[in-house]
Amino acid sequence: MRRIRANAIAILTVAWILGTLYYLWQDNKPHTSPSSVSQTRTAGGRSHGQRAVGRMEIHRDDRTIPLIVTRPPRGEHGGPQTGQFDEKSYLSGKQLKAGDDPYREHAFNLQESDRLGSERTIRDTRHYRCASVSFDPDLPSTSVIITFHNEARSTLLRTIKSVLLRTPSSLIQEIILVDDFSTDPEDCQLLTQIPKVRCLRNERREGLIRSRVRGAGVASASILTFLDSHCEVNTDWLQPMLQRVKEDHTRVVSPIIDVISLDNFAYLAASADLRGGFDWSLHFKWEQIPIEQKMARTDPTQPIRTPVIAGGIFVMDKSWFNHLGQYDTHMDIWGGENFELSFRVWMCGGSLEILPCSRVGHVFRKRHPYDFPEGNALTYIKNTRRAAEVWMDEYKQYYYSARPSAQGKSFGSISDRLALRRKLNCNSFRWYLENVYPELKIPEQEAVSSMLKQGGLCLETHGTESLGLGECKGSGAIWPQSQKWTLVEPLIRQQDLCLAIAAFSSGSKVRMEPCNPKDGRQKWKPKGPAFQHLVSGLCLDSQPPAGPPIISQCRPQLASQSWEPQLLT
Ligand code: UD2
Ligand code: MN
């Protein structure tokens, strides 16, 4: 028995080795029709006629683990053609001095980044099925816009080179660098020796928002692609995004953002099950795709709808960008613009998605390596306040509750943005919450204490059970407990006691009982100036005025059903 098992294992092993060798041979076989270059490009990347190193992959669950990684041959897709650019002298012009803290200037390990060089092999982190997705042969080209303020030369250069090396050159119209008043103008200027690279320099620090708008303003392609200045794009990152935007110009699309370690610059695959979300303080976070959507995803190459984007890496049609009002250029330096753009896109007729077959690496940092002229906190508050004031309607109250320090801070005029919102005829924030982000929990309504006034009289308790109308006895913040009511839907309460009906029929008395939110006899909702009992549909009525209140058919225009809550300050 044991012998048979051993033989079976040996046979399987030999078959596996032979299979592998055959696979490698197939993969290395010279392609027969170089003339068919770029007839159809697949996300697999190598169009016909290109030389490839052998590759073998293990497919496990939804991950692809290449054992032998393909190295893009120089000039893949016709790049990199770095022209007259002298890379060595560019990089050596700025290098870490012995003994310097490698994290100090950029909040990542500069020494490690410098050591890596500008071209390196990274793992293709896409799901293996992405390699067989095909794209239109006539995808539009794009202008890539990269803004930066004092970026490290080695990361900036690697961002640019990865774009030139890993993208079919016909798809890159130009790379527009916006130097946001970095200390050394040459960081940007010298890079224009690389074909397709343009450089704009701000004459003063503008921040990433106005810098991007400036870059977009000079872009000559019909599609804009924004990147941070410390990215590395992965195999065939651009085609899935151009395809989606070409099909529908109102889509704004992002890649999955992989992680480049800030310590050793390892390129790490990010989870493919995440989308962008936020809490009421307008703090961005990655969150799991809701379970129902996850279950419904049979095809891992399909787009993921996202309520917000992280902000730095996305592709958008240029006329759609302009039509929707670009960015709020009164936002400064960094932060908040991703919410403003995301709300605007969804509420004004577009959509946001993450494309799992597009991967771009980014160095996520723990702190900002640059200064904020007005201070980091104030700037974030100003920017997010502008987003909340323009787009969040009555829900902005939850932003202020979650970020009390925002109250009273200046945020400039928003009249232009409000006019834009009216002109574009955008949906309400409530629509956004219901249709795009129903998972965002709306905080419980805060308990409000008030008097319930009717004419000159107030609803009051007599002892623990009975109720009636009495002369209002208080002023300012000082009111007797017997006349103080707290409205927390569906309850109308006074400490631990709640307004309850005795029976469900018209004319039934109303009295006080220990609160129990599950008891149908205690549930009320406002109906104009009246309070309607939820189950019976009848309204709280003070007739006859001498006795306890009752419930009767709702006629909120009746004085005896009209309760005027008067907030206590
Ligand atoms: C994330 C976004 C970033 C932006 C930000 C919110 C990603 C990968 N990154 O922050 O793009 O949406 O959230 O605002 O989604 N920069 C300037 N001028 C400045 C400050 C920054 O040009 O005054 C540049 C900077 O060099 C970089 C880009 O703006 O290229 C984004 O800044 P970051 O990398 O510090 O922001 P990050 O990735 O923490
Ligand atoms: Mn960044």
Is the distance from CB of 201 to CB of 215 less than 8 angstroms?
no
Residue 223 CA to ligand 1 center (angstroms) comes to 20
Q: Mean pLDDT, to the nearest integer, of 483-487?
A: 88
Amino acid in the structure at residue 350: G
Band (pLDDT 50/70/90 cuts) for residue 446 is low
Looking at ligand 1, which residue's alpha carbon is closest to its atom 35?
368
pLDDT at 221 over 70: yes
Q: Which residues contact 406 (CB under 8 A, 6 or more apart)?
A: 381, 384, 385, 388, 399, 400
pLDDT at 256 over 80: yes
- pTM of this prediction exceeds 0.80: no
- The residue that leads in pLDDT, 240 or 475, is 240
Looking at ligand 1, which residue's alpha carbon is closest to its atom 31?
228
Q: Mean pLDDT, to the nearest integer, of 43-54?
A: 30
Q: Mean pLDDT, to the nearest integer, of 494-513?
A: 93
pLDDT value at residue 49: 29
pLDDT value at residue 14: 55
Residue 220 CA to ligand 1 center (angstroms) comes to 23
Residues with CB under 6 A from ligand 1: 147-149, 151, 180, 205, 207-208, 211, 228-229, 257, 310-313, 333-335, 337-338, 362, 365, 368, 370
- The residue that leads in pLDDT, 370 or 401, is 370
Looking at ligand 1, which residue's alpha carbon is closest to its atom 15?
312
pLDDT value at residue 4: 54
Residue 228 CA to ligand 1 center (angstroms) comes to 6
> Pick from 271, 240, 273: which is nearest to 255 by CA?
240
For 221, counting Cβ atoms within 10 Å of its Cβ (0-12 exposed, 13-18 middle, 19+ buried), the class is middle
- The residue that leads in pLDDT, 67 or 470, is 470
pLDDT value at residue 456: 84
Band (pLDDT 50/70/90 cuts) for residue 119 is very high
What are the tens digits of pLDDT across the range 260-282? 999 999 999 999 999 999 999 99
What are the tens digits of pLDDT across the range 378-407? 999 999 999 999 999 999 999 999 999 999
Band (pLDDT 50/70/90 cuts) for residue 486 is confident
- The residue that leads in pLDDT, 525 or 25, is 525
Q: Mean pLDDT, to the nearest integer, of 506-525?
A: 92
Query: Which residue blocks in 392-495 are alpha helix, DSSP H?
Result: 396-402, 415-424, 429-435
Residue 183 CA to ligand 2 center (angstroms) comes to 19
> Which of the ligands is closest to the CA of residue 208?
1
Q: Which of 1-15, 156-170, 240-254, 393-407 has the lowest mean pLDDT?
A: 1-15
Query: Token match 């961002």: residue?
Result: 159
Looking at ligand 1, which residue's alpha carbon is closest to its atom 7?
312
For 105, counting Cβ atoms within 10 Å of its Cβ (0-12 exposed, 13-18 middle, 19+ buried), the class is middle
pLDDT at 70 over 90: no
Residue 228 CA to ligand 2 center (angstroms) comes to 5
Q: Which residues contact 442 (CB under 8 A, 6 or more apart)?
A: 395, 398, 433
Output DSSP code: residue 250.
Answer: T
> Which of the ligands is closest to the CA of residue 187?
1
Q: Mean pLDDT, to the nearest integer, of 161-177?
A: 98
| Residues in a beta bridge with 256 | 359
Residue 89 CA to ligand 1 center (angstroms) comes to 27
Q: Which ipTM score applies to this complex? A: 0.99
Q: Mean pLDDT, to the nearest integer, of 195-211?
A: 98
